[in-house]
């Protein structure tokens, strides 16, 4: 079955420390991969996306993600976290065979401590 897994429900990180959020997917077709962020009470903001080409993708707010086909992963990273990065992060997958409908992981909540 097609699925998107975010293994970490909640991560706490100190301000200034690095952050890595994991995302694994299970799809037969070539996936298109996205990371969205949601602040409390808000909608989803697109951080970055991967379609093809360079497997290291740069996004907004200093985030980057790396696509690893062999591991079926698309992990999100940020070298130095700011307090404003506290939010919920969602990994999403779309495929051409599924008409580009987004399938989301369960999300990872990031808490930033001073």
Partner 1 sequence: KAGVTQTPRYLIKTRGQQVTLSCSPISGHRSVSWYQQTPGQGLQFLFEYFSETQRNKGNFPGRFSGRQFSNSRSEMNVSTLELGDSALYLCASSLAGRGARTDTQYFGPGTRLTVL
Residues that bind partner 1 (CB under 8 A): 32, 34, 36, 41-46, 49, 51, 90, 94, 96, 99-107
- CA distances, 88 to each of 18, 45, 55, 91 (Å): 16, 11, 24, 10
Shortest Å distance, C-beta 103 to partner 1: 8
State the Cα–Cα distance between residues 22 and 100, nearest whole angstrom. Answer: 22
Shortest Å distance, C-beta 85 to partner 1: 18
Shortest Å distance, C-beta 80 to partner 1: 27
In a 3-state reduction of DSSP, which class is residue 100? coil
Closer residue to partner 1 (CB): 13 or 104 = 104
Note whether 51 and 30 are within 8 A (CB).
no
Closer residue to partner 1 (CB): 21 or 81 = 21
């Amino acid at each position: 079955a097609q699925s998107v897994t975010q293994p970490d429900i909640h991560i706490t990180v100190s301000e200034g420390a690095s952050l890595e959020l994991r995302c694994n997917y299970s799809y037969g077709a070539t996936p298109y991969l996205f990371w969205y962020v949601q602040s409390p009470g808000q909608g989803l903001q697109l951080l970055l996306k991967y379609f093809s080409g360079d497997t290291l993708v740069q996004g907004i707010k200093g985030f980057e993600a790396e696509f690893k086909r062999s591991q079926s992963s698309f992990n999100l990273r940020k070298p130095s976290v700011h307090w404003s990065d506290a939010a919920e992060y969602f990994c999403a997958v779309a495929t051409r065979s599924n008409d580009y409908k987004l399938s989301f992981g369960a999300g990872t909540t990031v808490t930033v401590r001073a």
